[in-house]
Amino acid sequence: MKISLKDGSIREYQNSMQVIEIVKEISPGLERVACVGKVNGSVVDLRYQLREDCNLAILTFDEEEGKIAFRHTAAHILAQAVKRLYPSAKLAIGPAIKDGFYYDIEFENPFTSEDIAKVEEEMKKIIKEELEISRYTLSKPEALQLMQARGETYKVELMHELPENSEISLYEQGDYVDMCAGPHLMNTKYIKAFKLTALAGAYWRGNEKNKMLTRIYGTAFPQNAELEDYLAIMEEAAKRDHRKLGKDLGLFTLLEEGPGFPFFLPKGMVLKNLLLNYWRKIHEREGYVEIATPLMLNRSLWETSGHWEHYRENMYTTRIDEEDFAIKPMNCPGGMLVYKSEPHSYKELPLRIGELGLVHRHEKSGVLHGLMRVRSFTQDDAHIFMMQEQITDEIKGVVRLIDEVYSKFGFKYHVELSTKPEDSIGSDEDWELATSALENALIQMKLEYKINEGDGAFYGPKIDFHLEDSIGRTWQCGTIQLDFQLPIRFEAEYIGADGNKHRPIMIHRVVYGSIERFIGILIEHYAGKFPLWLSPVQVKVLPISDKFILYAEEVWKALKQQGIRCEIDKRDEKIGYKIREAQLEKVPYMVIVGQKEAESHMISVRDRENGDKGAISLDDLMVILSDNI
């Protein structure tokens, strides 16, 4: 038996071998950090038996599959601890997720944050017990009998949905058995550092008609230092929470009368309009025209586009004059109607059409999160209609535009290429052509990317841009989707150089993605301390007392006349209080005026980061502000 390792070496064995045995041969150090193996592309337990020639990779916590197995094991330790402390609890599901894991559990009595400490202590005991983790299979009737005897009704429900001849995979550690596909670590002792981080409610299977379960979140790392670093980042993230800062800074509010539908306040509208104006400026420069399409269109349009079949559960619908209508979840079909509203020649292509369109999507109440996950948002869409030979240049142009915008805000980013999903429309040939076109553009621009298999839109592959913010978190925002299907479904045409009708190819693309979400990201990225050009209030004028309000108003008016967004604090409060308030409001510059300033026609300036800058003239401040902006 020949085992080909990731480094290109080949090991030969006479008999079958467990992955862990090969790991031990390679290095004792590797044995300490190995999480799972990867055999011919499939992730397996280290206890997996190799019986024939194969490719083998050993995965540690540094690889994504290693993290998943590590944290999935931690989820099982959590469930075992819960069952020891609360034997009547019923287990639902407990997957690994980004940065951690969770387990959904039904408790007889309310589970509170005070209970978390007890569960953490029990988890530590389980880890110290160094329980071996083993996998075995049972037939469906045998597995059902086992889970019924244990009172695990949710596991029984899941098993009932499997084919009758199924072999059910189970994992066992001490007194705990769980239905699970795995893979897992070899022993509980490897979970060196963990923390239960939050409690939430979660409907069974995400359906609001089902029972509400308790979701216990946690995270786990191989070393305490890594856990401490992560918790420090989470603490910093909590300080930057855009929901709290959005309220404190008077940017937006979320009200029970409109769950998932944000209300923008005056300062929030200043910020939003600055982003929209910047968007319009650079798109006009790049040759885009702007349109607006209706908020609601009839069912036949959404059937033509494929959304009625593939996206129906996320759409809000109504009936008008005995006909079904849907509020648009996407701008694209309306954009297609605009293109079709007049004939086009090859001489017009590429035709770049932008739209700042308000869209609505029915999101479950449990996933709503501030501005990050809403039911109504403005999408900075653009659709580019082009000929096949123009594809690469247009994609490169969009990539350059996205890079310019993200650089403006100080974001680093990485790129993913998402390929054909199971729920797709169109021929394999079109999908291969579209995917190759996107990939070729990335290669020509020498952009590093990774493949995200099966995560494309139902009508075409896409390039996704994942921003990295100031504390290292990533956010998916920009996207470029190449679409052969909508032009076919809508019978879009142009007259070619040969005088015949041809089908255009279409790019869907967004830069911000959702304006609302992008604002949420910016709030957290800057911790509310927006750069001067983006700050809703750039300068706050603070008179020391009522006696100097007239001079303060003179300064305020002069700043306003120069286009500076400026406020004046006329409250009868001490100057120290006014300064603290302005600091809390994250205002970049404060202008303080009292007797000395009024007599000398000067101003005292403080900036947000460095404090007192001393007395300067108003003209000097204008120079500082204009240079900064």
Model pLDDT, residue 511:
95
Say how far residue 505 (Cα) sits from the centre of its chain.
28
Residue-wise pLDDT for 347-392, tens only, equals 999 999 999 999 999 988 878 899 999 999 999 999 999 999 999 9
Mean pLDDT of 461-477: 87
The distance from CA 343 to its chain's CA centroid, rounded to whole angstroms, is 39
Query: Which of 305, 262, 268 is closest to 523 using CA atoms?
Result: 268
Q: Which of 240, 307, 361, 373 is catalytic?
A: 361
Whether 361 is a known active-site residue: answer yes
Residue 458 has a pLDDT of 77
Q: Is 30 helix (H, G, I), strand (E, B) or coil?
A: helix
Q: Go through the domains of the chain in sequence order and give each one's CATH number.
A: 2-60 (3.10.20.30), 74-239 (3.30.980.10), 252-293+329-525 (3.30.930.10), 537-628 (3.40.50.800)
Assign 485 a pLDDT band (cuts: 50, 70, 90).
confident
522 or 206, greater pLDDT: 522
Start-to-end CA span in the chain (Å)? 67
446 is catalytic: no
Q: Has 383 been annotated as catalytic? A: yes
Give the integer Cα–Cα distance in Å for 436 and 215: 42
Q: Can 613 be counted among the known catalytic residues?
A: no
Q: Residue 602 pairs with which residues in a beta bridge?
A: none
User: The tokens of 159 are what?
Assistant: 């098993």
Is the per-residue pLDDT at 83 higher than 80?
A: yes
7 is catalytic: no
Catalytic residue among 215, 242, 352, 508: 508
Which one from 83, 272, 462, 586 is the annotated catalytic residue?
Answer: 462
Q: Which of 383, 509, 517, 578 is catalytic?
A: 383
Which tens digits make up the pLDDT trace of 209-263?
A: 889 999 999 999 999 999 999 999 899 888 999 999 999 999 999 999 999 999 9
Give yes or no for residue 272 having a pLDDT over 90. yes
- What is the model's pLDDT at position 468? 87
Could you identify the residue written with the tokens 């008077």? Answer: 250
Of these residues, 80, 379, 481, 538, which one is catalytic?
379
Question: Among residues 452, 412, 423, which one has the least CA distance to residue 435?
Answer: 452
Nearest to 593 by CA among 627, 565, 559: 559
CA dihedral 384, 389, 391, 393 (to 10 degrees): -100
pLDDT tier, 453 (very low <50, low <70, confident <90, very high otherwise): confident
Catalytic (active site) residue 517: no
Under the banding of pLDDT at 50, 70 and 90, the label for residue 401 is: very high
Is pLDDT at 427 greater than 90 in this prediction? no
- Band (pLDDT 50/70/90 cuts) for residue 187 is very high
Residue 457 has pLDDT above 80, yes or no: no
Q: Which residue has the tokens 């000067």?
A: 602
With bands split at pLDDT 50, 70 and 90, how would you rate the model's confidence at 432? confident
Share of the chain above pLDDT 70, in %: 100
CA gap 193, 197 in Å, rounded: 13
Set 104, 115, 380, 381: catalytic member: 381
pLDDT-above-90 percentage for the chain: 76
Q: Strand, helix or coil at 283?
A: helix
Measured from the Cβ of residue 308, the count of other Cβ atoms closer than 10 Å reads: 17
Report the alpha-carbon distance of residue 513 to residue 233 in Å, rounded: 25
Q: What is residue 382's predicted lDDT score, i.e. its pLDDT? A: 95
> What pLDDT is attached to residue 407?
92
Residues 360 and 328: beta-carbon distance below 8 Å: yes
Tell me the per-residue pLDDT of 103-148, one tens digit each, with 9 for 90 and over: 999 999 989 888 999 999 999 999 999 999 999 999 999 999 999 9
- The arithmetic mean of pLDDT across residues 39-46, rounded, is 92
Does residue 76 have an active-site annotation? no
Token pair for 227: 């856990």
